[in-house]
Amino acid sequence: MKLANAAARGDILSGAVLVVIGAAGLLGVVDAQVQEVAGFSSHARLYPKILAALLAVIGAGILIGGIAKRGKVPAVEVDWTGMGRVVGVLAGGCAFALLAPLAGFTAATVLATGAFAVICGVYRPLPLALVSLGTALAIRVVAVELLGLTLPGLGSV
């Protein structure tokens, strides 16, 4: 199926969604979800606020680029085969958010990263295990050891 301005419309839509998510994070979602932790040098809400601001700025850039492209991009053939991966990543993100407080951040990260790797085509057990465990370990080292943050679920487990 050919769509005129498909790239521009996609950029406008995705940019707008990123701006809304970033703005929501800046305007109170982060404050409602992240609790103060006594004894830590860094403010627990600082890093999510920085990420929310970056998300809003990047989204605004994509949105502005999409508006600038409107009417200047020829019709393109749209390939919908990747839509299953998009749905899979969204479902995995939701599952991670639900699982992290229950099973702990590390266990949820291993499962989510493994699922995302399978969605991206990594099927062999050794690379799958290395990607999953390596990602969880790297996030834990950076967040807990270097930044002094706590991770959701079971303390810092």
Asked if the model's pLDDT at residue 55 lies above 90, the reply is: yes
In tens, the pLDDT along 64-73 reads 998 888 877 7
31 and 87 share one domain: no
The identity of residue 33, as a single letter, is: Q
Most confidently modeled range among 3-7, 109-113, 149-153: 109-113
3-state SS, the chain, equals CEECCHHHHHHHHHHHHHHHHHHHHHHHHHHHHCCCCCCCCCCCCHHHHHHHHHHHHHHHHHHHHHHHHCCCCCCEECCHHHHHHHHHHHHHHHHHHHHHHHHCHHHHHHHHHHHHHHHCCCCCHHHHHHHHHHHHHHHHHHHHHHCCCCCCCCCCC
**pTM exceeds 0.75 for this model:** no
99 and 58 share one domain: no
At 156 the pLDDT is: 42
68 and 106 share one domain: no
44 and 101 share one domain: no
Residue numbers of the domain that contains 102: 81-157
In tens, the pLDDT along 125-152 reads 898 999 999 999 998 888 888 877 777 6
Asked if the model's pLDDT at residue 40 lies above 60, the reply is: no
